[in-house]
Amino acid sequence: MLTLPAHAVDVTVVGLTNGKAIVSVNGGRPKTLSAGDVGPEGVKLISATSESAVLEIDGKRRTLTMGQGITTNFESTGRSKVILNADGTGHYLTSGTINGGQVKFLVDTGATMVSMGTSDARRLGIEYLTGVRGSSNTANGVATVYHVKLDSVRVGTITMRNVDGVVHENSDMPFVLLGMSFLGRLELKHEGRTLTMMQRF
């Protein structure tokens, strides 16, 4: 039986302007791509603004912000792996989907569940008012929250189904917190400023 080696594509956005992005692929020399251009490893720039770039990597579209990187790798074991690079403040930010809708995630191992504000929940079509009502202690006092079940949560090539989530009432959060209801089902490994997430099976 022939086993194919794992193939990884590591892409980091190092510069952004309207219609153009400067990207580094697999640690190589940064290359300027205009919308429609195809760079090393077949990475294609779909569109770009001064805030983010939409890239097609391994046939899948991903949105990356300035300084953000992602590594996609499907290993011969059949386990999906995603590697995130920390931003300038040490946080891990990435794009993904919840129930098929695009979101921006902030990896938060201190969060029990995938957490979001009401505006994201409404945009994603999550009927949180039918969820279990509860309360949560925050920096601004006690807040009302709703516990929900998310049909699917995806980051890169990793998709988890039936994930516990929480919606914070009357709260608009800049990111969806990617908490342990998702992360706890993965193998996590920190190396310097990178975080590797791999499916357990």
pLDDT digits (tens, 9 = 90+) for 34-70: 999 998 888 999 999 988 899 888 778 888 887 667 7
Residue type, position 134, single letter: G
Its pTM stands at 0.65
Asked if residue 157 is part of any domain, the answer here is yes
Mean pLDDT across 66-81: 63
Query: How far, in Å, CA of 29 to CA of 38, rounded?
Result: 15
DSSP 11-54: EEEEEEETTEEEEEETT---EEEETT-B-GGG-EEEEE-SSEEE
110-145 pLDDT, tens digit each: 999 999 999 999 999 999 999 999 988 776 678 899
Tell me how many domains the chain contains.
Answer: 1
Task: Give the model's pLDDT for residue 2.
Answer: 35
Query: How far, in Å, CA of 54 to CA of 78, rounded?
Result: 26
Range of the domain at 175: 88-183
Query: How far, in Å, CA of 17 to CA of 19, rounded?
Result: 6
Asked if residue 48 is part of any domain, the answer here is no
Quote the DSSP letter at residue 128.
G
Asked if residue 140 is part of any domain, the answer here is yes
Domain of 124: which CATH number?
2.40.70.10
Residue 163 pLDDT level (bands cut at 50, 70, 90):
very high
Asked if residue 167 is part of any domain, the answer here is yes
Asked if residue 99 is part of any domain, the answer here is yes
Asked if residue 133 is part of any domain, the answer here is yes
Query: How far, in Å, CA of 23 to CA of 95, rounded?
Result: 17
Residue 6 pLDDT level (bands cut at 50, 70, 90):
very low
